[in-house]
Structure 1
Amino acid sequence: MADHDLNHSFEKWCSQVDSSGFYLAVETDDQGHCLSVLASHSPALEGHLWTYLPLVAHDPVRAILSPPAPDIRHRTLHVAYHDSENRWLECCAHYFKSVTGESRCLLLIRQTTHETPSAADFQQERLRAIAYERIKFSLLELILKEQDALRILEKIVHDIERIHTEVYCAIVLTRNLGKLVQTVIASSLPQAMLQTLRQLQLDTGNGSLATSIATKQRVVVENVMTHPYWLNHREAARASGIQAGWSEPILSAEGEVLGAFAMYYRQPQTPSAFELSMIEQAAKLVSIVVDRHLSQESIQSLAYYEPVTGLPNRRKVYEHLHQLRKEATHGQWGMIYIDLDHFKWVNEAHGHTTGNQLLHQVAERLQKAAEPHFIACMGGDEFVVLLSGLASHADEAAEQMWHMQRQLQKVFQRPFKIGAQKLSITASMGLCSFNETDPGETDYVKAADIAMHKAKQAGRNQACLYEPGMQTEIATKVMLEADLREAIAQQQLRLYYQVQVDHTGRPFGAEVLLRWHHPQRGVISPLAFISVAENSGLIVEMGQWVLDQACAQIACWQQSLNTRELSLSVNISARQFRQADFVDMVKACIQRHQINPNALRLELTESLLLENVDDAVLIMEELSQLGIQFSLDDFGTGYSSLQYLKKLPLYQLKIDRSFVHDLVTDSHDRTIVRTIIAMAQSMYLNVIAEGVETQAQLELLSNNGCRRYQGFLFGKPMPIEAFSEWLQVRLT
């Protein structure tokens, strides 16, 4: 608490504390995690804020942990104990930034009795709470009996305004999942404000109500004339005599936004504990009404259409399938399941707004290509086309289905223009055909989905026809992914180290390798689980852990004279490399362990770099400036060429083990290896060969100019304990 104002506030608070009552001073983050205890009535507090804070204060305090706007430095509210002693808790939140720029809150809470609020205020709040409980029960009864949703919602507004005579209430219902205003229920709201709500753009920062809908969070604006959210609505507020505006989002049971409940005050106002509770419960009552009583047309628009693309959703697909089978027309039907390849990379590299715009354009193109057939969005980047009216003969129907697939594939041949940039993307597709004689319980969507995943495994931008045996294979991978998630949580992953030596046989470094020790299956090969981790996104979390452990090991080596010159190579996955915070994550890891960056070597694959060479160069150059070295892994297996190699700030090429394995017997492999070595030498790059297992391989590599090696001939991958012992012998 270096800030002078904070120290002054704390000292003033200390002078007002009655040590015989409850008091508490803590520093928290904006999520309510206690970082330090400055003063407490209980010496046993030890950071457990919510255990010792009276339950009645939990919700009000959580509501003031973060400022409602950047320019607000502190907030105060009073919470009534609701007992016979007229006790209150005065809760003061002072907002500041830590030295690292993170949001912090100095929370000062003390018990008061005879100070303001007065006993009359206390009694008034108690009476309001009792009145609201009665209203709530009567409304719940009305919800069960009344079929007119509008009448119930109007009564909610009327009854709350009757309790709070100085308040205007409004219920705003939305359509298109919170994108547009549909209905405003506010019987006493002045015309200027009512018109504003009817025309409201539901964007963050555009007033209390729009912000609560856009963020799905409560928004409290204590003074609309000074708060930036109300910049565009101050005239309407002034004309309506409104000074404060609070809003609570109305959410469905599934968490979808249905609208918002708003309270507008005639004076600048900080909510009391009762008022915070009341606005939250009122929003819940409205959500019950909306869920139970809205018109079928409105519910259908919410339930059956995907909001980003505007296409029918998964639920509608199954209804359409049911209808097709019910009609029982002769002939075949077909289904094409479409999944965009590496779409998550678009979101990670360009942001979700760009991703949504891309999905919208993809949907428009697919819709045109699929006409007149039914098309839907299954959520995210997945689409389904249902083909009806195909030929009755299976072979002819299959040809018609493949013809449609080729038409859909053409959609992705042209780039998509998003703003000033052009984005290219491909899609994998799964095909499935069926007719009226197939069993009714068959899940054709799942079958086409399985075929689509098979197409992805074949290298993406492919299409595959469903066959019954595929389900077992996919189920195995699903089970493996579930086990892998458990492995991460249970710390079943282990790091092994394989030595790298120079032409004299002396170790100069190692490569860190990931191994999975499954409690039932034993050691699982990386070949089996790395692809699953890559496709599921788990590779990012795993990669961060591996890099952190590698930096910790480098720090350990740098403490010893024998090992301080060793380097450590870490494999970086494509998914991890394309994370928007990859560079910052690597920098933070180096800083955390205080290592010499020259000892860290990141291994990248050719296919990773070739997908976007220019972006890769920018990332590599920024890290190279720190001293980090880059090695091109599996070199020779992709599109090796001087054209792209010249652009990359590389330190080393790694000859793939597939060329080393048959080096002695295969003249073609020998030619490739000689070419790689010559290419590296011409560009002044180091070269290392992996998978060296025999003396004959070593001699051929050495005779052709390769001076660095890795393989079983020098040492198998070992856990760090065994590797350290082995290394100690070799380096002494």
Structure 2
Amino acid sequence: MIARLLKKTPEADTTSSAPASLSSHAINTPENTGSGSLLQPYADSIVASLNVGLIVIDEALLVLSVNDCVCKILGLDHANPMAGQHLRTLLPALESPQVLHPFLSGKTGKRYLSIPHEKSQLRITLTDIVGDHAQQHALITVEDITEEHRLREETLANAAHYRNQASLLDKASDAIIVIGINHHISYWNKAAEKLYGWTCDEALGNSPENLLWDDEAAFNEVTRLTIENGEWRGEISQRHKDGTPFVVESQRTLVRDENKRPKSILIINTDITERKATEEKIRHLALYDSLTRLPNRTLFMDRLRQAISNASRYQRRLAILFLDLNRFKEINDTQGHDVGDQVLIQVAQRFEATLRGEKTLARLGGDEFIVVTEVEDQVAAAMIAERLQQTLLAPLRLGNDHFSVGVSIGLSFYPEDGDNADDLMKCADIAMYKAKTTGAGYIAYQAKMSADLNEQMHIARNLNQAMNADKLELYYQPKINLKTGEIDGAEALLRWNDAERGWISPAQFIPIAEARGMMAQLGLWVLEQACRQICTWQAAGYHFHGRLAINLSAQQLSDPELADKILQTVLNAGLSPACIELELTESSLMHNVAQSIDIMQSLKKMGFALSIDDFGTGYSSLSYLKCFPVDTLKIDISFIRDMLNEHHDHTIVTTIIGMARNLGLKAIAEGVETLEQASSLLKLDCDHAQGYYFGRPEPAQIFAAQWLRCSSGIA
């Protein structure tokens, strides 16, 4: 043990050379003082109880003595004697000259070194001591500093980690703020400086309620909820340093200390000003009409449901007014969509100026508008409808042009006509349709209207089935040359004998087919059947003189490929366009004048003859007549019926015939029922006539028997 150093040691071997580092100052020993025998027992006891490892080595680095603590630190066996072993046997880390030599060659009395040993970290200290006869020894203390080393490394790593975190937080795009429970700001990153305008020095130690909030109560409430729930997230209104308000999305997390007590609040705030503006724009686009800025169908239905809920709660009455513009399509088609859009904008502005109070006006789409309002009774609703009609009495002015439009209005009422939005809308729509077809201006819904609508739907369904099953028929009515009295062509007319209802007039089912978009399919079916019939007559040896007239609808004229489809149908039947005349009404031509002209020019070049049907009843067709490449004007039956009794009708007939003559066109009168009418038309130089006086429409076999074998003149 180290106590042996206190005894007199043998004389050193003069042949050994001590390291230069061991040449140190001599120390006094008990032997020198004469009291060694008294101190020896105490020295051994003291050394044994130390929790520091002690090793005594000689000048050759051989171990002279160790205490028990060294064995414990180094994990050595107490029973295994270590005296006489080289120091590196105990501490292999000292084997390297790069470690050991600097350690031993120090100029001071003590040298310190931290070395690894197996899984531990040791601190060793070297102290030079000199015994008797200047014998040189050294005392090495060994301490296990593994935990200390770990804590130091962990502290250094944490410090680096915190530095990295702080750097990352400063690079974050969101404002990151930490406030204590005392409401003082303890952290404020670069993004917070940018977002709020306050520097870090200005913010630290200050209260966010003073810097950022206008509403102290709102700040206290958010803080309370964060502490109670451990977190809070939501949108809050805050202000910039210059006072500018803006909205942030805030996420707050409560931080607790080691005793689980609230310590601080971590706040991450994101500026959502642009996002809110974008959301508002999207919301506006989703709920408002982009053209008129009125609520659209989605927003209107929501407001209607709210109005119904309030009316139910307070036992009030609602009126729904469904508005559809009259003559708007003609303006839109003839003047273009840009002009049509400006018309809709002006109409919406007039409607808005007319309506007052708790009324919601919306645009459903196209030229349809709708209103919901509280009313006392139907009379009050009727007065609103009349004001809406009157606001459109004055023509709309666009530049130097003036346009006249009207409006058809259908009314439904809560709770009489329904207790939900869909039923009330449906009833108002039905009433509007009735008002438009009857020209009544505005009409309140009646239950019978739904029955009529159901009837129309049933007819439409049966008509579609009949067409697909070839259950429709074509009848043929002759066209007569008034000068020769002979047949000069015929018109194919659609007839329908329904299995349930019997014969249904074209005047009933054609408008239904038009309303439901069936005319394109129906028109093609008629053309195919007519071509097939001509081929059948030819195969039977009948000679058909002139052209067979087929009617084209407005829906067919909306198809830019119509001319090619008609030509292909005729050619597929093995016929020539010279066999067919196509009749178009004035109103159908006016839906899209430019496209109508293009289609007519194409048909004319293909060899088809063209006729304007019901001439004189359309809208503004005279201004476009010079542009239509037609062959014949067909005078409407409404003028022929009373031409012998009404001076104005006779004048119109005379004018149309003269116009046709001056334009190099032929004129044909429809609806001729008497000899007097036929004779008058002949005197007016009308070319052809068609009507019951000459022959009614007949099935193909009867028509062929009557007209394709003989001719009939005027009796």
TM-score normalised by L of structure 2: 0.50
Aligned to 2:465, which of 486, 490, 512?
A: 486
C-alpha displacement of 1:685: 1.1
Structure 2 match to 1:335: 320
Unaligned runs of 5+ in 1: 1-296, 417-421
**What's the counterpart of residue 646 of structure 1?**
626
Report whether the alignment pairs 1:398 with 2:382.
yes
CA distance, structure 2, for counterparts of residue 555 and residue 691 of structure 1: 28
Aligned to 1:504: 484
TM-superposed deviation, 1:319 = 2.3
Aligned residue number for residue 208 of structure 1:
none
Cα offsets for 1:422-481 (capped at 9, x unmatched): 999967543426467887579432321122101221359x54343555444334333332
Q: Which whole-Å deviations, capped at 9, do the CAs of 1:381-409 have from their partners, x for residues lacking one?
A: 75432123x4x4653453235324655x5
Which residue of structure 2 lines up, in the alignment, with residue 320 of structure 1? 306
User: Are 2:455 and 1:476 equivalent residues in the alignment?
Assistant: yes
SS of residue matched to 2:613: strand
Q: Which residue of 2 aligns with 1:626?
A: 606
1:646 is paired with a residue of what secondary structure? helix
Q: Is the 8 A contact 1:431 1:451 kept in 2?
A: yes
Q: 1:466/1:355 Cα in 2 relative to 1: closer, same or farther (>3 Å)?
A: farther
Check the 8 A contact 1:334/1:401 in 2, yes or no: no
Equivalent residue, structure 1, for 2:426 = 446
Deviations 1:338-393 (A, max 9, x none): 34669999999999x999999997998699666863345667775432123x4x46
Give 1:517's aligned amino acid.
N
CA change 1:319–1:410 in 2 (3 A) is farther
Instruction: Please tell me whether the aligned partners of residues 523 and 552 of structure 2 are also in contact (alpha carbons under 8 angstroms).
Output: yes
> In the alignment, which of 550, 556, 566 is matched to residue 586 of structure 1?
566
Structure 2 gaps, min length 5: 1-278
Alpha-carbon distance, 1:537 to partner: 0.7
Residue by residue over 1:235-281, the C-alpha shift from the partner in whole angstroms, topping out at 9 and shown as x without a partner, is xxxxxxxxxxxxxxxxxxxxxxxxxxxxxxxxxxxxxxxxxxxxxxx
Which amino acid counterpart does residue 707 of structure 1 have in structure 2?
Answer: D
AA aligned to 1:325 is A
| TM-superposed deviation, 1:717 | 1.0
Partner of 1:690: 670
Separation in structure 2 between the aligned mates of residue 484 and residue 631 of structure 1, nearest angstrom: 27
* 1:597 Cα deviation from its structure 2 partner: 1.3
1:701 is displaced (CA, Å) by 1.7
Question: In 2, distance between residues paired with 1:512 and 1:482?
Answer: 23
Equivalent residue in structure 2 for 1:466, among 434, 439, 445: 445
CA RMSD of aligned residues (A): 4.5
Which region of structure 1 is more displaced relative to structure 2, 654-663 or 512-521? 654-663
- 2:324 and 2:408 in contact (8 A); partners too: yes
Letter in 1 for 2:386: W
3-state DSSP of counterpart to 1:654 = strand
Alpha carbons 1:565, 1:599 under 8 Å: kept: no
Aligned partner of residue 729 in structure 1, secondary structure: coil
Task: Decide whether aligned partners of structure 1 residues 516 and 349 sit closer, same or farther in structure 2, where only a CA change above 3 A counts.
Answer: farther
Equivalent residue for 1:159? none
Is residue 2:523 matched to residue 1:539? no
In structure 2, relative to structure 1, the CA distance for the partners of 1:491 and 1:381 (3 Å cut) is farther
- What is the distance in 1 between the residues matched to 2:418 and 2:592? 47
Match of 1:206 in 2: none
Within 5 Å, which residues of 2 pair with 1:278-677?
311-313=296-298, 316=302, 319-328=305-314, 332-339=317-324, 373-376=359-362, 382-388=368-374, 390=375, 392=376, 395-404=379-388, 406=390, 413=396, 428-432=407-411, 434=413, 440=419, 443-458=423-438, 462-467=441-446, 469-502=448-481, 503-556=483-536, 563=543, 565-638=545-618, 643-677=623-657
Cα shift at 1:566: 2.8
The 3 A distance-change label for structure 1 pair 532 and 433 is: closer
TM-aligned CA distance change 1:402 to 1:552, over 3 Å: same
- Alpha carbons of 1:344 and 1:486: their partners in 2 closer, same or farther (altered >3 Å)? farther
Change (3 A) 1:722 1:355: farther
Q: Identity of paired residues, percent?
A: 34
Q: Is the 8 A contact 1:373 1:385 kept in 2?
A: yes
Alpha-carbon distance in 2 for matches of 1:482, 1:414 = 43
Q: Is the 8 A contact 1:328 1:436 kept in 2?
A: no
Which range moved further: 442-451 or 462-471?
Answer: 462-471
Distance 2:683 2:341 in 1: 56
1:147 corresponds to: none
**Structure 1's 509 and 403: CA in aligned 2 closer, same or farther, altered over 3 A?**
same
Contact 2:485-2:711 at 8 Å conserved across structures: no
Q: Which stretch shifts more, 660-669 or 524-533?
A: 660-669
Q: 1:339/1:639 Cα in 2 relative to 1: closer, same or farther (>3 Å)?
A: closer
Q: CA deviation at 1:498?
A: 0.8
Counterpart contact for 2:495–2:505, Cα < 8 Å: yes
Change (3 A) 1:341 1:437: closer
Q: Cα distance 1:435–1:719, how it changes in 2: closer, same or farther (>3 A)?
A: closer
Q: Aligned equivalents of 2:461 and 2:543: distance in 1?
A: 39
- For 2:537 and 2:479, the matched residues in 1 are separated by 15
CA contact (8 A) 1:336 1:429 kept: no
Pair 437,666 (structure 1): closer, same or farther in 2 beyond 3 Å? closer
Instruction: Find the aligned partners of 2:331 and 2:462 in 1 and give their Cα distance.
Output: 28
Query: Contact 1:481/1:533 (CA < 8 Å) preserved in 2?
Result: yes
Q: Which amino acid aligns with 1:488?
A: M
Matched AA of 1:484: L
Take 2:404 and 2:306, find their aligned partners in 1: how far apart are those partners? Answer: 29
Cα pair 1:349 1:580 within 8 Å, conserved: no
Aligned residue in 2 for 1:715: 695
Deviates more, 1:309-318 or 1:442-451: 309-318
Q: What SS is found at the alignment partner of 2:627?
A: coil
Cα 1:395–1:640 shift into 2, 3 Å: closer
Distance in 2 of aligned mates of 1:360 and 1:636: 29
Q: How does 1:18-29 map to 2 (within 5 A)?
A: none
Specify the SS of the correspondent of 1:681.
helix
Cα distance change on mapping 1:377 and 1:497 into 2, 3 Å: same
Tell me, in whole angstroms, the C-alpha distance in 1 between the residues paired with 2:703 and 2:515.
Answer: 32
User: Deviations along 1:214-246, whole A, 9 cap, x unmatched?
Assistant: xxxxxxxxxxxxxxxxxxxxxxxxxxxxxxxxx
User: Which residue of structure 1 lines up, in the alignment, with residue 56 of structure 2?
Assistant: none
Worse overlay, 522-531 or 652-661: 652-661
Whole-Å Cα distance in 2 between the matches of residues 563 and 327 of structure 1? 77
How far apart, CA to CA, are the structure 1 residues paired with 2:519 and 2:671? 24
Pairwise CA distance, 1:567: 0.5
Higher Rg: 2
TM-score with structure 1 length normalisation?
0.49
Does the CA-based 8 Å contact 1:329-1:436 persist in structure 2? no
Please say if residues 321 and 370 of structure 2, whose CA atoms lie closer than 8 Å, have aligned partners that are also in contact: yes
Deviation at 1:696, TM superposition (A): 2.5
Q: Hey, what's the Cα distance between the residues in 2 that align with 1:490 and 1:355?
A: 44
Aligned counterparts of 1:323 and 1:382: Cα–Cα separation in 2? 25
CA contact (8 A) 2:478 2:487 kept: yes
